[in-house]
Amino acid sequence: MRVAFLGPEGTNSHEALLATELGSAAEPVGLGSNHDVVLAVQDGRVDRALAPLENSVEGGVNATVDALTFAAPDVVIVGEVVHAVHHCLVAAPGAQLSALHTVLSHAQGLAQCAGALRRLVPGARLEAVASTALAVERAAREPGLAAIGTRTAAARYHAEVLAADIEDQPDNATRFVWLAPTGTPPDGPPTKSSLVFHGAGDASPGWLVRCLSEFAFRGVNLTRIESRPLRSVLGHYLFHLDFDGAPGEPAVDDAVGALRLHCEAVRVLGAYQAAVSAGAVATLPSGHGGYRTS
């Protein structure tokens, strides 16, 4: 089975994949962006994908959310994984913190370590790149550069860990979703669902309240709501919902059916088994971690 993830090897997405049961058996396919990861399933280039959907610190991963919504009508969510995320500050062997002028990482990594970077390298310029692994690869060979990345990437690209576990929130975690072609059954009994909706009434008073009340009145618990631009007219939005339950349950079917009366479009993105705990984090052998201030 070919499985897409945000590559190259050593990214947080790669570590999350390796921590799953499928990770050791799959043929991993590293791609350059989360948009491409989603589209690889839509285009049939891979059988599945593992894509980040939201982070506990930075919220929704817009590239994944938008690709699912606007560019992948034949892709569904069939499972989810919650993966603990730990970041390291790495550079070329022998690098000194005082000599670092630029820190590279994925935008999410930079944001999740903003406080630590202000303490460790207050004068450094921050530069967003496509992935944490690409950042580590560059930092390992270019003097003056550092990167925020994983221990796995540091080992792979022969970089030195200057400071470990620098995420601002120690419980930092990312929720990844398994994506598959429409018609693929979920990985387990579905206990959670995701959908997206929008309607011309979104500018009228109380429209969103009426939409959401269809779930509340039927006792369906919403676990997440997020708005994104509709990409048509300024000021109009579509809404992503996650909720407990799955199609086939009377309360869920009634709520979704009633929602359609308020909206122009309602699309169920998937029904799947909710994750119950954070996945295991890949680690390096002893001697690669720690904290150095020189």
pLDDT of residue 24: 80
Backbone angles phi, psi at 12, to 5 degrees: -60, -35
Contact status, residue 165 vs residue 88, Cβ threshold 8 Å: yes
Domains of the chain: 88-163 (3.40.190.10), 189-272 (3.30.70.260)
What is the model's pLDDT at position 277?
57
List Cβ neighbours of 213 (8 Å cut-off, separation of 6 or more).
Answer: none
- Give the span between the Cα atoms of 2 and 201, in whole angstroms: 42
List per-residue pLDDT tens for the chain, 294 residues long. 999 999 888 899 999 999 998 888 899 999 999 999 999 999 999 999 999 999 988 889 999 999 999 999 999 999 999 999 999 999 999 999 999 999 999 999 999 999 999 999 999 999 999 999 999 999 999 999 999 999 999 999 999 999 999 999 988 899 999 999 999 999 999 999 999 999 988 888 999 999 999 999 999 999 999 999 998 888 899 999 999 999 999 999 999 999 999 999 999 999 999 997 544 333 333 332 333 332
pTM of the model: 0.84
Q: Do residues 109 and 197 make contact, with C-beta atoms less than 8 angstroms apart?
A: no
Query: Is-contact 288 161, C-beta < 8 A?
Result: yes
Quick one: tokens of 103? Answer: 């820190």
pLDDT at residue 124, as a whole number: 97
DSSP string, the chain: -EEEEESSTTSHHHHHHHTSTTTTTSEEEEESSHHHHHHHHHTTS-SEEEEEEEETTTEE-HHHHHIIIII-TTEEEEEEEEEE---EEEESTT--GGG--EEEE-HHHHHHTHHHHHHH-TTPEEEE-S-HHHHHHHHTTSTTEEEEE-HHHHHHTT-EEEES---SSTT-EEEEEEEEETTPPPSSS--EEEEEEE-GGGGSTTHHHHHHHHHHTTTPPEEEEEEEE-SSSTT-EEEEEEEES-TTSHHHHHHHHHHHTT-SEEEEEEEEPPP-SEEPPP-PPTTS--B---
Q: Distance from first CA to last CA of the chain, Å, rounded?
A: 46
Contact 159, 93 (CB under 8 A): yes
